[in-house]
Amino acid sequence: MDIIINMFDPDDLPKRNMIRNFFLGISSVKDMVVTSFTLETIYNYSRCERVPLLRNLSSLDADFYDYRWEMLPIFLESCPNLKSLSLKFSKSPWEQPIGILPGTHCHLPSLESVEIIQPMIDDEAEIKLVSYFLENSTILKKLTIRLGDLKGKEESAFLKKLLSIPRLSSSCQVLIL
pLDDT at 48 over 60: yes
Average pLDDT over residues 42-57: 89
CA distance 17 to 49: 10
Q: When comparing pLDDT for 68 and 63, which is higher?
A: 63
Residue bearing the bigger pLDDT, 175 or 118: 175
| pLDDT cut 70: percent of the chain above it | 82
Q: What is the pLDDT of residue 100?
A: 45
CA 21 to chain centre: 23
Residue 80 has pLDDT above 80, yes or no: yes
pLDDT tier at 166, thresholds 50, 70, 90: very high
pLDDT digits (tens, 9 = 90+) for 110-125: 999 999 987 776 777 7
CA–CA gap between residue 108 and residue 168 (Å, rounded) = 10
pLDDT in tens, 8-45: 677 888 888 888 898 899 999 999 998 888 888 888 88
The predicted structure's pLDDT at residue 58 = 98
Mean pLDDT, the chain, integer: 83
Report the Cα–Cα distance between both ends of the chain, in Å, rounded.
Answer: 28
Structural domains in the chain plus CATH codes? 13-176 (3.80.10.10)
User: What letters, b where the CB count within 10 A reaches 16 and e where it falls short, cover 37-46?
Assistant: bbbbbbbbbb
Q: What does the pLDDT read at residue 54?
A: 94
Residue 175 clears pLDDT 50, i.e. is over it: yes
In whole angstroms, give the CA distance from residue 162 to residue 177. 14
The more confident residue out of 97 and 23 is 23
User: Is the pLDDT score of 101 beyond 50?
Assistant: no
